[in-house]
Amino acid sequence: MAGSALKRLMAEYKQLTLNPPEGIVAGPVNEDNFFEWEALITGPEDTCFEGGVFPARLTFPSDYPLSPPKMKFSCDIFHPNIYADGRVCISILHAPGDDPMGYESSAERWSPVQSVEKILLSVVSMLAEPNDESAANVDAAKTWREDREKFNDIAHSTVRKSIGL
Protein backbone atom coordinates (compact mmCIF):
# COMPACT_ATOMS: atom_id res chain seq x y z
CA MET A 1 0.00 0.00 0.00
CA ALA A 2 2.61 2.42 1.11
CA GLY A 3 5.27 1.58 -1.36
CA SER A 4 2.68 1.80 -4.08
CA ALA A 5 1.71 5.33 -3.01
CA LEU A 6 5.32 6.41 -3.36
CA LYS A 7 5.71 4.67 -6.68
CA ARG A 8 2.61 6.18 -8.06
CA LEU A 9 3.61 9.67 -6.98
CA MET A 10 6.99 9.20 -8.57
CA ALA A 11 5.33 7.99 -11.76
CA GLU A 12 3.06 11.00 -11.80
CA TYR A 13 5.97 13.33 -11.19
CA LYS A 14 7.83 11.81 -14.08
CA GLN A 15 4.78 12.10 -16.29
CA LEU A 16 4.28 15.75 -15.33
CA THR A 17 7.90 16.62 -16.04
CA LEU A 18 7.99 14.82 -19.37
CA ASN A 19 4.67 16.12 -20.69
CA PRO A 20 3.80 19.19 -18.68
CA PRO A 21 0.29 20.40 -19.36
CA GLU A 22 0.05 24.01 -20.43
CA GLY A 23 0.08 26.53 -17.63
CA ILE A 24 0.86 24.06 -14.87
CA VAL A 25 4.06 23.23 -13.05
CA ALA A 26 4.07 20.78 -10.18
CA GLY A 27 6.52 18.66 -8.25
CA PRO A 28 7.60 17.62 -4.77
CA VAL A 29 8.82 20.42 -2.56
CA ASN A 30 11.72 18.25 -1.55
CA GLU A 31 12.79 15.05 -3.24
CA ASP A 32 13.15 13.37 0.13
CA ASN A 33 9.45 13.52 0.62
CA PHE A 34 7.15 12.89 -2.28
CA PHE A 35 4.04 13.51 -0.21
CA GLU A 36 4.30 17.30 -0.23
CA TRP A 37 4.06 18.98 -3.58
CA GLU A 38 4.21 22.53 -4.73
CA ALA A 39 2.25 23.56 -7.80
CA LEU A 40 2.20 26.74 -9.86
CA ILE A 41 -0.98 27.46 -11.75
CA THR A 42 -1.28 30.20 -14.30
CA GLY A 43 -4.59 31.97 -14.53
CA PRO A 44 -6.56 30.82 -17.58
CA GLU A 45 -6.65 33.17 -20.54
CA ASP A 46 -9.62 35.42 -21.19
CA THR A 47 -10.68 35.33 -17.58
CA CYS A 48 -10.23 37.79 -14.79
CA PHE A 49 -7.36 35.66 -13.47
CA GLU A 50 -5.40 35.86 -16.75
CA GLY A 51 -1.71 36.44 -16.30
CA GLY A 52 -1.55 35.45 -12.65
CA VAL A 53 0.71 32.74 -11.31
CA PHE A 54 -0.74 31.12 -8.23
CA PRO A 55 1.33 28.87 -6.00
CA ALA A 56 -0.40 26.01 -4.19
CA ARG A 57 0.55 23.21 -1.83
CA LEU A 58 -0.60 19.63 -2.34
CA THR A 59 -0.48 17.23 0.58
CA PHE A 60 -0.88 13.54 -0.18
CA PRO A 61 -2.14 10.97 2.29
CA SER A 62 -0.10 7.84 2.83
CA ASP A 63 -2.78 5.76 1.14
CA TYR A 64 -2.80 7.84 -2.01
CA PRO A 65 -4.32 7.19 -4.58
CA LEU A 66 -7.08 5.58 -2.56
CA SER A 67 -7.68 8.83 -0.73
CA PRO A 68 -7.50 12.25 -2.35
CA PRO A 69 -4.76 14.78 -1.62
CA LYS A 70 -5.48 18.14 -0.06
CA MET A 71 -4.82 21.29 -1.98
CA LYS A 72 -4.27 24.74 -0.56
CA PHE A 73 -3.29 27.94 -2.31
CA SER A 74 -0.40 29.60 -0.58
CA CYS A 75 -1.33 33.03 -1.90
CA ASP A 76 -4.39 35.17 -1.31
CA ILE A 77 -7.05 34.37 -3.84
CA PHE A 78 -10.62 35.58 -3.84
CA HIS A 79 -12.75 32.91 -5.46
CA PRO A 80 -16.12 31.31 -4.67
CA ASN A 81 -14.66 27.79 -4.47
CA ILE A 82 -11.57 28.59 -2.45
CA TYR A 83 -11.83 29.01 1.30
CA ALA A 84 -10.46 32.21 2.75
CA ASP A 85 -7.43 30.26 4.02
CA GLY A 86 -6.64 28.97 0.54
CA ARG A 87 -8.09 25.45 0.71
CA VAL A 88 -9.58 24.39 -2.59
CA CYS A 89 -13.11 23.02 -2.53
CA ILE A 90 -13.84 20.96 -5.63
CA SER A 91 -15.69 17.73 -5.76
CA ILE A 92 -12.87 15.58 -7.12
CA LEU A 93 -10.83 16.38 -4.02
CA HIS A 94 -13.51 14.93 -1.79
CA ALA A 95 -13.45 11.28 -0.91
CA PRO A 96 -16.74 9.56 -1.55
CA GLY A 97 -18.61 9.73 1.69
CA ASP A 98 -17.62 13.17 2.86
CA ASP A 99 -19.52 15.96 1.31
CA PRO A 100 -18.98 19.37 2.87
CA MET A 101 -21.61 21.00 0.70
CA GLY A 102 -24.08 18.16 0.82
CA TYR A 103 -25.07 17.79 -2.77
CA GLU A 104 -22.24 16.31 -4.81
CA SER A 105 -23.01 13.03 -6.46
CA SER A 106 -20.51 10.28 -5.94
CA ALA A 107 -19.72 10.28 -9.64
CA GLU A 108 -17.86 13.57 -9.26
CA ARG A 109 -15.79 12.43 -6.32
CA TRP A 110 -12.30 11.22 -5.90
CA SER A 111 -11.33 7.93 -7.42
CA PRO A 112 -7.89 6.47 -8.15
CA VAL A 113 -8.44 7.36 -11.80
CA GLN A 114 -7.84 10.98 -10.93
CA SER A 115 -4.33 12.28 -10.82
CA VAL A 116 -2.39 15.38 -9.89
CA GLU A 117 -2.63 16.55 -13.45
CA LYS A 118 -6.39 16.13 -13.53
CA ILE A 119 -6.76 17.90 -10.23
CA LEU A 120 -4.72 20.85 -11.43
CA LEU A 121 -6.62 21.03 -14.71
CA SER A 122 -9.88 20.98 -12.77
CA VAL A 123 -8.57 23.81 -10.65
CA VAL A 124 -7.72 25.80 -13.76
CA SER A 125 -11.21 25.32 -15.10
CA MET A 126 -12.59 26.18 -11.69
CA LEU A 127 -10.68 29.47 -11.87
CA ALA A 128 -12.21 30.12 -15.25
CA GLU A 129 -15.73 29.16 -14.25
CA PRO A 130 -16.49 29.50 -10.58
CA ASN A 131 -19.32 27.38 -9.30
CA ASP A 132 -21.30 29.76 -7.12
CA GLU A 133 -23.83 27.11 -6.16
CA SER A 134 -21.56 25.47 -3.63
CA ALA A 135 -19.61 28.39 -2.32
CA ALA A 136 -16.68 27.78 -0.04
CA ASN A 137 -16.19 31.53 0.20
CA VAL A 138 -19.65 33.00 0.45
CA ASP A 139 -18.48 36.59 0.11
CA ALA A 140 -16.71 35.75 -3.11
CA ALA A 141 -19.75 33.92 -4.44
CA LYS A 142 -21.98 36.85 -3.60
CA THR A 143 -19.64 39.31 -5.25
CA TRP A 144 -19.31 37.06 -8.27
CA ARG A 145 -23.04 36.82 -8.66
CA GLU A 146 -24.09 40.36 -7.87
CA ASP A 147 -21.17 42.64 -8.60
CA ARG A 148 -19.07 41.11 -11.32
CA GLU A 149 -17.07 44.28 -11.85
CA LYS A 150 -15.92 44.38 -8.28
CA PHE A 151 -15.04 40.69 -8.46
CA ASN A 152 -12.94 41.34 -11.56
CA ASP A 153 -11.19 44.22 -9.82
CA ILE A 154 -10.31 42.04 -6.85
CA ALA A 155 -9.15 39.28 -9.19
CA HIS A 156 -6.93 41.70 -11.11
CA SER A 157 -5.34 42.89 -7.91
CA THR A 158 -4.64 39.28 -6.82
CA VAL A 159 -3.15 38.63 -10.25
CA ARG A 160 -0.86 41.64 -9.89
CA LYS A 161 0.07 40.60 -6.38
CA SER A 162 0.77 37.02 -7.50
CA ILE A 163 3.37 38.13 -10.03
CA GLY A 164 4.93 40.51 -7.58
CA LEU A 165 3.70 43.85 -8.83
Partner 1 sequence: MRSGLIGIGSLALSIGVVANAYLQKKQFYPSVVYLTKSSPSMAVLYIQAFVFVIMMWEIACKLFFGTLRAAEMEHLIERSWYALTETCLAFTVFRDDFSPRFVAMFTLLLFLKCFHWLAEDRVDYMERSPLISGLFHVRVILLLTVLGCADGYLINHAYHLTLNKGATVQLVFGFEYAILLTAIVHIFVKYILHGIDIQSENPWENKAVYLLYSELVLGFIKVVLYILFLVIMIKVHTFPLFAIRPMYLAIRTFKKALNDVILSRRAINNMNTLYPDATPEELAAGDVCIICREDMVASSKKLPCGHIFHTSCLRSWFQRQQTCPTCRLDILRPPTPSRPTPQPQPAAAADAPQPPPFFPGWQPPQQPAVSTTSPPPTMPSPPPSGAAPGAATPAFMMPPFMMPFSVPLPSPPVGFSGLSDDELRRMEGDERQAVEARIQVLRNVHTLLDAAIVQLNQYSSVAGPPTVSSSAPSSVATATVTSTQTPISSPASQAPAQSAGPASPEEGATASEPTSPDSPSSSENSEMSEIRRRRLEKFKTETEKPETTKS
User: Which residues are marked as active site?
Assistant: 89
Question: Nearer Cβ to partner 1, position 18 or 107?
Answer: 107
User: Using CA atoms, how far apart are residues 107 and 105, in angstroms rounded to an integer?
Assistant: 5
- x/- contact string, 44-83, with partner 1 (CB under 8 A)? ------------------xx-xxx----------------
Peptide bond into 68 cis (omega under 30): no
Helix, strand or coil, per DSSP, at residue 147: coil
SS3 21: coil
Hey, CA dihedral for 131, 133, 78, 142, is it positive or negative?
Answer: positive
Judged by beta carbon, residue 108 or residue 139, the one nearer partner 1 is 108
The correct pick among 51, 55, 96, 128 for binding partner 1 (CB under 8 A) is 96
The footprint of partner 1 on residues 121-160 (CB under 8 A) is: none
Q: How far is the CB of 162 from partner 1 (least distance, A)?
A: 25
